[in-house]
Copies of this chain bind each other. A is one copy, B any other.
């Protein structure tokens, strides 16, 4: 960025396309799911890929990511604004796209359990996949997906964003299942409860003591996400390393 020659030709410095790729995660039926789209054209025609697309000339990468998220999920722009979107990192290997030089900014989105996507946008088909059971994906999307999974696992330790996977009102059991699903471990229920409730601002009890119906056991109290965003002290994963890859 230090110097640009005087009479420069913009095209001489603009040999790159910039895209965004999204790892949209949700928790369904006790498994971590990710939204994938089937590619309708070469390269990788017929392969599944992370949703994404080109950044337009007058928008930022984050704006592009929200636009694509709305297109792929078929939800309104306003709904999508409430979802947690987090920039992961940028992938810039010169050969990551066989067609041309494409630099991609990857984002992770955390959404509550949504209806099946309506395959909007330019994608042939779109559906939720078990995050551990995707076959080989197009481009370097296997790597992006693995990085994204690692990152949100680590973020759960130090932030409150597990609530982003839950609906507006949720039980502590549902919140615990988010942790267990993303981390792939079982947690002790009383201890989890104690930790969440003693962390100021993590969750907020819904005042009237309504209770959730439908399940089998004793009805559980309902909570909303609190005002806090960080967790102090952190809620560390039991056993082993903090991340899958210790970058």
Residues of A within 8 A of B (CB): 1-4, 6, 8, 10-11, 13-19, 21, 37, 39-41, 49-55, 57-62, 87, 89-90, 92-94, 97, 99-105, 121-123, 138-139, 158, 229-230, 232-234, 236, 241-243, 246
How far, in whole Å, are A41 and B229 apart by their CA atoms in the complex? 42
CB-CB under 8 A from A40, the residues of chain B are 2-3
How far, in whole Å, are A210 and B208 apart by their CA atoms in the complex? 68
Q: Given the known inter-chain contacts A57-B94, A92-B62, A94-B57, please indicate yes or no for A13 contacting B2, CB distance below 8 A.
A: no
Q: Which of B4, B10, B54 contacts A41 (CB under 8 A)?
A: B4
16 contacts between A and B (CB under 8 A): A1-B19, A1-B49, A1-B52, A1-B138, A2-B37, A3-B53, A11-B11, A16-B18, A16-B55, A57-B94, A60-B93, A60-B94, A62-B92, A89-B90, A90-B90, A234-B234
The DSSP consensus for interface residues of chain A is loop
Tell me if B103 and A18 are in contact (CB < 8 A): yes
Q: Which of B2, B10, B19, B232 contacts A49 (CB under 8 A)?
A: B2
Q: Which of B89, B105, B243 contacts A230 (CB under 8 A)?
A: B243
Q: Given the known inter-chain contacts A11-B11, A18-B18, A90-B87, please indicate yes or no for A101 contacting B57, CB distance below 8 A.
A: yes
Q: Which of B6, B105, B241, B243 contacts A92 (CB under 8 A)?
A: B105
Tell me if A92 and B60 are in contact (CB < 8 A): yes
CB-CB under 8 A from A105, the residues of chain B are 90, 92, 103
Q: Which of B18, B94, B104, B158 contacts A59 (CB under 8 A)?
A: B94
CB-CB under 8 A from A49, the residues of chain B are 1-2
Q: Which of B14, B101, B121, B241 contacts A100 (CB under 8 A)?
A: B14
CB-CB under 8 A from A57, the residues of chain B are 15, 94, 101
